[in-house]
Structure 1
Amino acid sequence: MRVLLAPVFTAGAMAWQLIRGELRGSTPGHGLDELHDGAFEPGQARTVQVPAHRAKALARDIWHREWLGLLAIQQGCVQQMMEMAQQFSALRFQGGRVIAGHPAVQIMLADMQAALTDVRIVLAGQALNESGFVDLLRARNRLHEGLALAANVAMQTFGGLGYMRDNGIEKRWRDVNHLRQQSGGALDMQLMSANWTFTKATATGAHA
């Protein structure tokens, strides 16, 4: 049995629906972009009403944990890509020496490391509260953009070979870019950040 937690709205009020069901038709795919090939068949459902302030806090906590998890997965993909790029650049010869010795490749590896360090610093300082949520909400686009650029750089170290499935790096490249769209793309994050900040400011003004 599996449980799905979904927000529902009735007469303008937000509630949560706990749905028990089964996941059917899902088969392993080549990458994260092929995960959504199954279907959730709902069975029993129960609606849970909570006060407005608790509903917002619950939504915030769910989003926060999901974004942290997605960032950690994306970071792991890029970490693997950097390790693969380091190993490959230490073996591939060009211009009479391994390409790891070329300044351009050294800059690429440094850029990858910088993107990973940026994400690690944010993840290490995260707290599951309102402040941490707002910080991550504002930083998420920047972090995803940096990791996507790092993935592109890792692909470049392989040259044309990077596009071949045999090397495995193309799968991770697709995974990293797919994760950028999970739980909200760049525009979604901008709109949500503006709305969340506006709502918070309005509530603060009302209490004042």
Structure 2
Amino acid sequence: MAFDAEIRAALIEQVRRFVTEKCIPIEAEVGDNDAVPQSIVDEMKNLGLFGIAVPEEYGGLALDMETECLVAFELGHTSPAFRSVAGTNIGIGSQALVLFGTDAQKSKWLPGIASGDLIASFALTEPEAGSDAGSLTTKAIRDGDHYVLNGTKRYITNANKADLFTVMARTDPSTPGAKGVSAFIVERNTPGVSVGQPEKKMGQQGAHICDVIFEDARVPVENRLAGEGEGFKVAMSVLDKGRLHISAVATGVSERLIKEMVNYSLERKQFGKPIMEHQMIQAMIADSQAETYAARCMILDAARRRDAGEDVTMLASCTKLFATEACGRVADRAVQVFGGAGYVTDYGIERFYRDVRIFRLYEGTTQIQQIIIARELARAAKAGKL
């Protein structure tokens, strides 16, 4: 739904207050404990954050893309681990159901996803397949009214808490590439489904990734999303939206880091004056602000175009590439502005520096975005639309 300005402003203010009052004060605690407290998860449920992209008839807020991005900017103002708690329910974990699910599938699972009582994860990446989704080896072989799944998925966000997995698996082993891949909803309690231990990561402590293993897991035919062999279409449709969301989160982090840089440089003195008065410091902060503003404008433009029904595949890749790379540069400058303090845990800057590195990898690496942008431009030129 398209929110009117007053309702949208009230929602954004609610999220902003939650981030400022509840999340920011415990960032270090979440990092040290590698866990987001259940009380915070419960507050996110009460705010409706697990269901912001789920249709209203299933208990969600049904935000348009522009409003979702505005919410994501606010969530980016604190450690990304908080957003990740609900992130898969908002994006890649639920959107395959929203976009391609049958009425029965939606009725069965979306209400629980919207409330946060069910956690959904997206199982695409494998030990030998990530960006090259067409090389998936997990198999789903039809056996009567079931498919039998075998294979391993890797680095699956929220897998250890997930109740449902959207799984991409090869239903036609004789068909190479993307055409032989189908999509399924697989429940966690399905016999033959197991989840590995959370990986130790560079950053984003409190957000977990794990292997998901399928060993002769029998999944009912009615759990397939879209037609057989249409899994790649499902995955790509989900990723378009997810890339805009991640771009907004990364830009929110950039905004937070700029605020930290400005405040610190106004207080910290060197050579008899606040370091903010030194032009080299001003240059780093100014560059960060200009790039972050550009990223925000790109994201909102692409989001509005998506809401208007335009194909935004190329624009989503443009925003993902620019916003996440910009965030990496802003985080690096923040460490530089803070100097030695930026390298010390107490100030939290080094944690953000580690946290944001993944933005340039998941939901399609920067290099994959470059390939998509070039491919879409070539297609447009060949169609006489460039």
TM-score, structure 2 length as denominator? 0.46
Q: Aligned pair 1:148/2:315, yes or no?
A: no
- Please tell me whether the aligned partners of residues 21 and 41 of structure 1 are also in contact (alpha carbons under 8 angstroms): no
**Closer, same or farther: CA 141–33 of 1 in aligned 2, 3 Å:** farther
**Closer, same or farther: CA 201–30 of 1 in aligned 2, 3 Å:** closer
Pick from 159, 184, 189: which aligns with 2:339?
159
SS at match of 1:15: strand
**Closer, same or farther: CA 197–8 of 1 in aligned 2, 3 Å:** farther
Per the alignment, residue 112 of structure 1 pairs with: 288
**Distance in 1 (alpha carbons) for counterparts of 2:344 and 2:259:** 17
The one-letter amino acid paired with 2:169 is: V
Once the two structures are superposed, residues 124-168 of structure 1 have per-residue CA deviations (whole angstroms, 9 ceiling, x without a partner) of 112335532222224432332222112111111111221111110
Per the alignment, residue 59 of structure 1 pairs with: 235
The one-letter amino acid paired with 1:115 is: E
SS at match of 2:237: helix
**Distance in 2 (alpha carbons) for counterparts of 1:200 and 1:50:** 28
Per the alignment, residue 268 of structure 2 pairs with: 92
- Give the total of aligned pairs: 203
- Please tell me whether the aligned partners of residues 21 and 44 of structure 1 are also in contact (alpha carbons under 8 angstroms): no
Q: Aligned pair 1:10/2:171, yes or no?
A: yes
The one-letter amino acid paired with 1:31 is: G
- Please tell me whether the aligned partners of residues 144 and 180 of structure 1 are also in contact (alpha carbons under 8 angstroms): yes
Report 1 or 2 for greater relative contact order, CA contacts < 8 Å, sequence distance ≥ 6. 1
Once the two structures are superposed, residues 32-81 of structure 1 have per-residue CA deviations (whole angstroms, 9 ceiling, x without a partner) of 267445454667633334277x7565333310122122212211222221
The one-letter amino acid paired with 1:65 is: K
Instruction: Could you tell me which runs of 5 or more consecutive residues in structure 1 were left unpaired when the two chains were aligned.
Output: none
Q: Aligned pair 1:135/2:311, yes or no?
A: no
The one-letter amino acid paired with 2:184 is: Q
TM-score, structure 1 length as denominator? 0.79
- Please tell me whether the aligned partners of residues 331 and 353 of structure 2 are also in contact (alpha carbons under 8 angstroms): yes
**Higher mean displacement: 187-196 or 82-91:** 187-196
SS at match of 1:131: coil
The one-letter amino acid paired with 1:84 is: E
Once the two structures are superposed, residues 56-108 of structure 1 have per-residue CA deviations (whole angstroms, 9 ceiling, x without a partner) of 65333310122122212211222221111111101110111001111111111
Instruction: Could you tell me which runs of 5 or more consecutive residues in structure 2 were left unpaired when the two chains were aligned.
Output: 1-117, 119-162, 190-194
Once the two structures are superposed, residues 4-30 of structure 1 have per-residue CA deviations (whole angstroms, 9 ceiling, x without a partner) of 112223223332111111667559988
Q: Aligned pair 1:83/2:255, yes or no?
A: no
- Please tell me whether the aligned partners of residues 33 and 174 of structure 1 are also in contact (alpha carbons under 8 angstroms): no
Pick from 221, 224, 230: which aligns with 1:47?
224
The one-letter amino acid paired with 2:167 is: A
Cα offset, 1:172, TM superposition: 0.7
**Distance in 1 (alpha carbons) for counterparts of 2:202 and 2:209:** 12
- Please tell me whether the aligned partners of residues 78 and 172 of structure 1 are also in contact (alpha carbons under 8 angstroms): no
Pick from 219, 241, 245: which aligns with 1:69?
245
**Closer, same or farther: CA 201–34 of 1 in aligned 2, 3 Å:** farther
**Distance in 1 (alpha carbons) for counterparts of 2:380 and 2:232:** 11
**Aligned-residue CA RMSD in angstroms?**
3.2
**Distance in 2 (alpha carbons) for counterparts of 1:30 and 1:188:** 22
**Distance in 1 (alpha carbons) for counterparts of 2:367 and 2:199:** 31
Q: Aligned pair 1:123/2:299, yes or no?
A: yes
**Distance in 2 (alpha carbons) for counterparts of 1:142 and 1:48:** 32
Percent identical among aligned pairs is: 21
- Please tell me whether the aligned partners of residues 15 and 50 of structure 1 are also in contact (alpha carbons under 8 angstroms): yes
Pick from 153, 167, 188: which aligns with 1:21?
188
- Please tell me whether the aligned partners of residues 112 and 154 of structure 1 are also in contact (alpha carbons under 8 angstroms): no
**Distance in 2 (alpha carbons) for counterparts of 1:62 and 1:150:** 28
**Distance in 2 (alpha carbons) for counterparts of 1:44 and 1:113:** 52
